[in-house]
C-alpha cells in the first residue's frame, strides 16, 4: 500500500469516527455544554426571580461579590466538613464490610446482599427512614429512652453529623460493591505467597490487600468526594439547610437562591454559586488525581 493511499484510508476512518461521535456530541452540547455556558452568562446579570422581567448587567462584579462573600465561605466550609465526615467514614466502613464479606463461607451471599442493599435505596427513602429514626417523638432514640434536647436535627452541633450519617448509610452499598469487586480481583495466590512468606492476617491486609486495592480506593475517594460536594436531597429533606445554616452546603445554597420562598431570589447569584461549585469540584478532583495517583499501585 502506498503512503498516499494509506493517508487517504486514515482520513476516511477519521471522518467516520467523527461522524459516529456526532450523536454523543449533540446530546452533550444540548444538555451539558449549552446550559453550562448559559449558566456562566447568567451570572453576569442581576436577574429578577420571574421570567420575562428586565434583567440588569452587572458583569464580573457579581462573581467577585458572591464568591468573596462570607456566606459563600461559610457554605464552602460546611461542604468541606460534610465531605470529611462522609468520605473517609464511608470508605472505611465499606472496606471493613467488603473485607468481612470477602470470605468463602456458606451463606456469605446473604450478607453481601444485605451490605449492598442500600445501593437500591434512593436519597429520598434514606432521608425518610432517618427522619423517622431521628424524630424526637416517635424515633429510635425516644424508644431507647434517650431524648436529646434539642433534637439531633435541630442541634447546630449535631445536625451536619446526622445528615452525614444518612449519606454514609445511603452510599455504603455502592462503596461496598466497588470495594468488593476490587478485593475479588486480587489474585488468591498473592495471599498464599504472603502466607508462606510469613505474613499473618494483619500484614497481609496492609502489605497485600491495601496496595492491591489502592486503584479502587482511589476511585472511591474521587467519586465519593464529588458525590459529597453535590449532595442535596438528604439536606433538603432532613434539615432544610438549618439549623442556623449549619447544614447549608453549596448545593443547598444554590437551591435557596432559586426558591420562590426566598423573595430576594436571584437566579444570577445561583448561577455564580453553581459555577463556583463546579470549579471547586473540578479542582478537587484534579488535585486528588495528581496527589493520590502517585501513591496508587496499579497491578500489571
Give me the least distance between CB of 129 and other proteins, in Å please.
40
Nearer to other proteins, 19 or 298 (CB): 298
Residue with smaller CB distance to other proteins, 185 or 282: 185
The nearest distance, CB 204 to other proteins, in angstroms, is: 9
CB of 205 to other proteins, least distance (A): 13
Is residue 170 a contact partner of residue 126, using CB atoms and an 8 Å limit?
A: yes
> By the criterion CB under 8 A, which residues form the site for other proteins?
187, 189-190, 192-200, 203, 207-208, 211-212, 214, 297-300
Query: CA of 132: how far to CAs of 21, 26, 66, 138, 146, in Å?
Result: 48, 44, 36, 7, 15
Give residue 248's region: left, alpha or beta (phi > 0; psi -120 to 50): beta
The single-letter DSSP state of residue 199 is -
Q: Which residue, 263 or 300, has its beta carbon nearer to other proteins?
A: 300
CB of 297 to other proteins, least distance (A): 3
Based on CB atoms, which residue is closest to other proteins, 76 or 194? 194
Residue 79 CB partners (closer than 8 Å, separation 6+): 228, 229, 249, 250, 251
What's the closest the beta carbon of residue 271 comes to other proteins, in angstroms? 45
CB of 92 to other proteins, least distance (A): 21
Task: Pick the closer one to other proteins by CB: 49 or 211.
Answer: 211
Q: How many Å apart are CA 253 and CA 40, to the nearest integer?
A: 17
The answer to whether 232 touches 223, Cβ cutoff 8 Å, is: no
Residue (98 or 213) nearer to other proteins, CB: 213
Question: Are 58 and 192 in contact, with CB atoms under 8 Å apart?
Answer: no
Amino acid at each position: 500500500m502506498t503512503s498516499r493511499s494509506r493517508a487517504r484510508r486514515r482520513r476516511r476512518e477519521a471522518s467516520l469516527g467523527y461522524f459516529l461521535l456526532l450523536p454523543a456530541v449533540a446530546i452533550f452540547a444540548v444538555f451539558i455544554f449549552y446550559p453550562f455556558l448559559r449558566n456562566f452568562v447568567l451570572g453576569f446579570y442581576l436577574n429578577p426571580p420571574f421570567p420575562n422581567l428586565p434583567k440588569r448587567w452587572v458583569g464580573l462584579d457579581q462573581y467577585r461579590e458572591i464568591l468573596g462573600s462570607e456566606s459563600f465561605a461559610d457554605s464552602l466550609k460546611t461542604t468541606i466538613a460534610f465531605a470529611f465526615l462522609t468520605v473517609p467514614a464511608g470508605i472505611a466502613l465499606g472496606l471493613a464490610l467488603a473485607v468481612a464479606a470477602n470470605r468463602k463461607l456458606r451463606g456469605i451471599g446473604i450478607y453481601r446482599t444485605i451490605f449492598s442493599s442500600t445501593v437500591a435505596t434512593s436519597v429520598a427513602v434514606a432521608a425518610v427512614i432517618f427522619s423517622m429514626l431521628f424524630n424526637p417523638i416517635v424515633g429510635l432514640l425516644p424508644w431507647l429512652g434517650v431524648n436529646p434536647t434539642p433534637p439531633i436535627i435541630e442541634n447546630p452541633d449535631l445536625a451536619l453529623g446526622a445528615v452525614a450519617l444518612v449519606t454514609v448509610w445511603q452510599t455504603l452499598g455502592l462503596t461496598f460493591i466497588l470495594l468488593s469487586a476490587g478485593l475479588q480481583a486480587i489474585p488468591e495466590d498473592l495471599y498464599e505467597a504472603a502466607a508462606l512468606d510469613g505474613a499473618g492476617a494483619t500484614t497481609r491486609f496492609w502489605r497485600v490487600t491495601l496496595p492491591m486495592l489502592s486503584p479502587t480506593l482511589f476511585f472511591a475517594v474521587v467519586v465519593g468526594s464529588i458525590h459529597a460536594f453535590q449532595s442535596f436531597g438528604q439536606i433538603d429533606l432532613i434539615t432544610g439547610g438549618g439549623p442556623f445554616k449549619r447544614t447549608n452546603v453549596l448545593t443547598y445554597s444554590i437551591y435557596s437562591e432559586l426558591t420562590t420562598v426566598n423573595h430576594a431570589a436571584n437566579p444570577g447569584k445561583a448561577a455564580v454559586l453553581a459555577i463556583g461549585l463546579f470549579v471547586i469540584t473540578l479542582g478537587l478532583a484534579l488535585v486528588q488525581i495528581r496527589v493520590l495517583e502517585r501513591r496508587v499501585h496499579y497491578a500489571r
